[in-house]
Amino acid sequence: MATLPLRRLLVEPALRRRTLVVVLTGALSSLPLVGTLGYESALVLSGPLALLGVATGVDAVRAERASPPDDGPPASYLARVGPVMLRDVLGLVGLALLVLLVAQLWNRACDPLVGLAFFGLGPAISAVLGGLCGLWGATLVRRDARRRQLLAGCVPLLVSLAVALARLYADPVVFAHDPFWGSFAGPLYDEAVAITPRLLWFRAYNVALALAAALAFELWTRPDGTLAAWTQPRRRPWSTLAMLLLLALGASLGLRAERYHFNATVESLSRELPGELRTEHFVIHYDPASPAARELDLVEAEHEFAWQRLAKRVGREPAVPVHSFVFPTPERKRELIGAGDTEVAPPWRGHLYLNDQPFPHRVLHHELAHAFSAPLGDPLLGLPARLGLGGLQLNLALVEGFAEALAPRPREGLDLHDQAAVLERLELRPSLSSLMGLSFWGKSSRHAYAAAGSFCLWLVETRGVGPLVALYGNGGDFSAAYGLSLAELESQWVELLRARPIRERDIEALRQRYAKRAIFERPCAHRVANLLVDAHRADQRGDHETSLAHHRSVCELEPQRAQHRVALGRALAQAGYFEEARATLEQVGMEPELTHTLASMVDETLGDLAVQRGELDRAAAHYQAALGRSVSESVARRLQIELLGTRDAQLAPLVLDYIAPFETNDASPRLATLRMYLATRIRELGPHAALGWYLVGRQLLVAREGQRAVEAFEHALAPAEGQAGLTTTELERGAREGLLVASVRARHYARAREVLAELLHDPEIGNGDRYTYELWAERIEFFETFRPATQARPSAGPS
């Protein structure tokens, strides 16, 4: 008798489906983030529930055919099978939802209402759509073969999946929406994932076509379940009209997918970014109203410089032209292609999706390296892939490690090996074996990129580019490429990291950066990111109370992260609650485990509050304390300027207003104008003329005015007779770096070389600074030929 329930479970399809839903959702609920009621669980469950929905539709039709006919007047076929299908589908959906709700006991959802919305827009609708496909599949396949009926019902799901994958492969988007398989929001590193108009429009499109398909089922099926003649709808004109209207609505949405942003093409992006510049290797798309349009000569030159440099290192080139889309803002890029702060370059597509940044673009070289890797990888995706015991295996560590090695990005004066060595000292370095597959995404991106990049760079430095190219091509077979296993190579690389001299201040400077855990280790990652985005938007419109409410919610969601309380303190100050801000920051400042980065932010903000109260001595003490921490050089320069202000009552308010620590919209034109005015006022103060010229130069660089910035920085570095110069080596180095950028902008390459020589002879620079300056030397050499001083600037209008 004990085997009877098990036998029923194996024999009855409905019980099998329910059990499968409970087991699948239960297993999912044990995983962090993915197992909570939210975006990830909706994405994972949509496809399985759609497939099970197909089975419920098929079984509803089969049950109706097997049942004896009623004695009364026959009801429509849809009226008999539709409710049965919906009952079973909603039962499966309800079971999945129930498991996720119970799982709140051990896997808390941080935003259950939004999670319910994702669930409703994802698995719930997908399951019903699958059920409708099952009704059609079983009706079209009359033969009593359940497998064939299931296969027929799955045809729309498979076709839809193929279309979605084809779009993700060919079209310039990094998101995917599918009626049955759910919605993929975009890159993992863009943590802000919300219910967007794009998703709502897409589901409206799905529902319109689904209702049209249901009416078509009603019109073209007889009461006995057989298909009627094509002329049958003439007998029911109102139902036919409703079906046609729904079809028209669905078609109007689907055929204008680019308008509603649930898809994009190169042509549609070209309409959004109508400016076009064709170079030898690129088609650069840009917004004619953006800052990039005012310096197309620099944009073109930097693109071609990156190409020339990578071509020389790799020895192979991708197909041309490469399309480079330069978006004016991250928000606009997110709306159009699905990635905001994350800049991406799918290797197989030959596209770069970049945010507009001041010259020189920080990530252009890295993203272009992905395009250069395309000819080296598999023929379809250009990725390092190979067939193994587990099927197709993608090596994500090589994808990012290759780009990092060929285009390293220094941080805080540290080069790539220094950054990995800091990880080693902090005991946070992930093992290379844990990065070599899809598990790369499960690690902190900051840890994974630094480790993979340093390792690949070490391979290039010790064995040349050729073996790394071969390794990329064979999908990560280290023995074939190097004659050594991954473990043997890793041990040699780790010896380099452990022997590398790293100062304690360098470790402290990166401790906060490396403290951020992987997204899958933070259950509230999306909710926190969404709240911070909402807080920023509230600040932009001057709604400080809403912003504060969001910051307080963030502190409640992740109380262990001190940076949220620091941000709350700064938000309180921006809202004018100065005493509450001071109390909040002083409390945070007493925490014993506070990193140098956060401690310096606390001290600096307390100093700003003291200046605002007129307590210059107390402010000076706070700024001195902040400077005693391990901070980046840009932060040190700002603190030095603020400290200088505390020594002169006339200078202090000008510096405070220039730094604008309590300003919520740092990029506003009003603030830029005010800063230029304040910089000129500081310049007029005799003892601080050099500082004023330095600040004028910085503002002119922000305005992308190279020639005028050159003049300002020259005055800052060579003050008039009787005037004091810049007071610290960091400020002098900052002025020289600004003069270097401005000189290249203004095509004064000889002067740029002189400044660069001075920077390279500075004994205090780190390995990362030295790499950056050597890259500048290569850039100047290239620009002298590609963008000579006599060349006229191209127009900024669309082609």
In tens, the pLDDT along 381-410 reads 999 988 766 667 889 999 999 999 999 999
Backbone φ, ψ for residue 643 (5° rounding):
-65, -40
Cα gap 720→714, rounded to integer Å: 11
Contact present, 277 and 300 (Cβ < 8 Å): yes
| Cα 89 from Cα 86, distance rounded (Å) | 5
* Cβ neighbours for 763, distance < 8 A, ≥ 6 positions apart: none
Residues of the chain with pLDDT > 90: what percent?
A: 78
Residue 284 has phi, psi (to 5 degrees) of: -100, 120
Question: What pLDDT sits at residue 77?
Answer: 85
- pLDDT of the residue at 385: 87
Question: Is beta strand 322-327 parallel, antiparallel or unpaired with respect to 282-286?
Answer: parallel
For residue 389, the model assigns a pLDDT of: 64
Q: Which two tokens stand for residue 583?
A: 């109390």
Task: Annotate 65-106 with three-state secondary structure.
Answer: HHCCCCCCCCCCHHHHHHHHHHHHHHHHHHHHHHHHHHHHHC
pLDDT at 580: 96
Residue 799's pLDDT is: 35
Mean pLDDT of the chain: 91
User: What is the band of 792 on the pLDDT scale with cuts at 50, 70, 90?
Assistant: very low
Which pLDDT belongs to residue 67? Answer: 80
Give the pLDDT of residue 699.
Answer: 96
Angle (CA) 97-98-102 rounded to 5° is: 120
The pLDDT of residue 234:
63
Distance (Å, whole) CA 423 – CA 502? 11
* pLDDT confidence of residue 572: 96
Longest dimension (CA), the chain: 111
Q: What is the pLDDT of residue 603?
A: 96
Residue whose token pair is 């190219």: 469
Helix (H) or strand (E) holding 619: helix 616-627
Beta strands in 512-597 (DSSP E): none
φ and ψ at residue 418, rounded to 5 degrees: -60, -45
**pLDDT tens by residue, 756-785:** 999 999 998 999 999 999 999 999 999 999
Q: Is the pLDDT of residue 323 over 80?
A: yes
Cβ-defined contacts of 602-608 (< 8 Å, 24+): 602/566, 602/569, 603/629, 604/635, 604/638, 604/639, 604/642, 604/661, 605/566, 605/569, 605/570, 605/573, 605/581, 605/661, 606/582, 607/642, 607/646, 608/573, 608/642, 608/656, 608/659, 608/661, 608/662
Q: For residue 62, how far is the Cα from the chain centroid?
A: 47
**Tens digits of per-residue pLDDT, 173-208?**
999 999 999 999 988 888 889 999 999 999 999 999
In the prediction, which pLDDT does 190 show? Answer: 85
Vertex 461: Cα angle to 460 and 462 (nearest 5): 95
Strands 322-327 and 351-355, how do they pair? parallel
pLDDT for 468: 96
What pLDDT sits at residue 790?
66
Q: Count CA atoms within 13 Å of residue 301 on its CB side.
A: 24
Higher pLDDT, 412 or 791: 412
Distance (Å) of CA 396 to CA 142, 187, 432, 452? 47, 14, 11, 9
The secondary element (H helix, E strand) that includes residue 6 is helix 3-11
Domain range summary for the chain, segments of one domain joined by +: 13-189, 266-376, 385-515, 523-576, 595-664, 666-789
Assigned CATH class of 666-789: mainly alpha
Does residue 796 have a pLDDT over 50? Answer: no
Is residue 530 pLDDT above 80, yes or no?
A: yes
Q: What percent of the chain has pLDDT over 70?
A: 95
675-719 pLDDT per residue, tens: 999 999 999 988 899 999 999 999 999 999 999 999 999 999 998
Q: What is the pLDDT of residue 229?
A: 66
Sort 237 into a burial class: Cβ within 10 Å, 0-12 / 13-18 / 19+: exposed
Residue 232, pLDDT score: 66
Count, residues in the chain: 799
Q: Give Cα 223 to chain centroid, integer Å.
A: 53
Q: What is the predicted pLDDT for the residue at 430?
A: 94
- The rounded distance, in Å, linking the Cα atoms of 491 and 258 is 50
CA distance 425 to 418: 10
CB 362 within 8 A of CB 343: no
Q: Give the Cβ contact number of residue 162 at 10 Å.
A: 10
CA distances from 320 to 173, 324, 390, 671 (A): 20, 11, 35, 42
Cis peptide before 197 (omega within 30 of 0): no
356's tokens: 């507009």
pLDDT > 70? residue 162 = yes
pLDDT for the residue 3: 54
Over residues 567-623, the pLDDT tens digits come to 999 999 999 999 999 999 999 999 988 999 999 999 999 999 999 999 999 999 999
Question: What's the pLDDT score for residue 5?
Answer: 64
Q: Does residue 462 carry a pLDDT above 80?
A: yes
The percent of the chain in helix, strand and coil, each rounded to the nearest 5, is 65, 5, 30
Across 12-34, average pLDDT: 91
Residue 233 pLDDT > 80: no
Contact 285, 273 (CB under 8 A): yes
Q: Are 266-376 and 666-789 the same fold in CATH?
A: no
Instruction: Kindly report, residue by residue over 623-665, the tens digit of the pLDDT.
Output: 999 999 999 999 999 999 999 999 999 999 999 999 999 888 7
pLDDT at 1: 43
What is d(CA 378, CA 472) in angstroms, rounded to the nearest whole number? 9
- Pairwise CA distance, residues 795 & 300, whole Å: 12
Which listed CATH number (2.40.50.100, 3.40.30.160, 3.40.50.720, 3.40.50.620) goes with 266-376?
Answer: 3.40.30.160
SS3 323: strand
Query: Does residue 73 surpass a pLDDT of 90?
Result: no
User: pLDDT at residue 479 above 50?
Assistant: yes
- CB-based contact 183:362 (threshold 8 Å): no
What is the rounded CA–CA span in Å between residue 788 and residue 90? Answer: 69
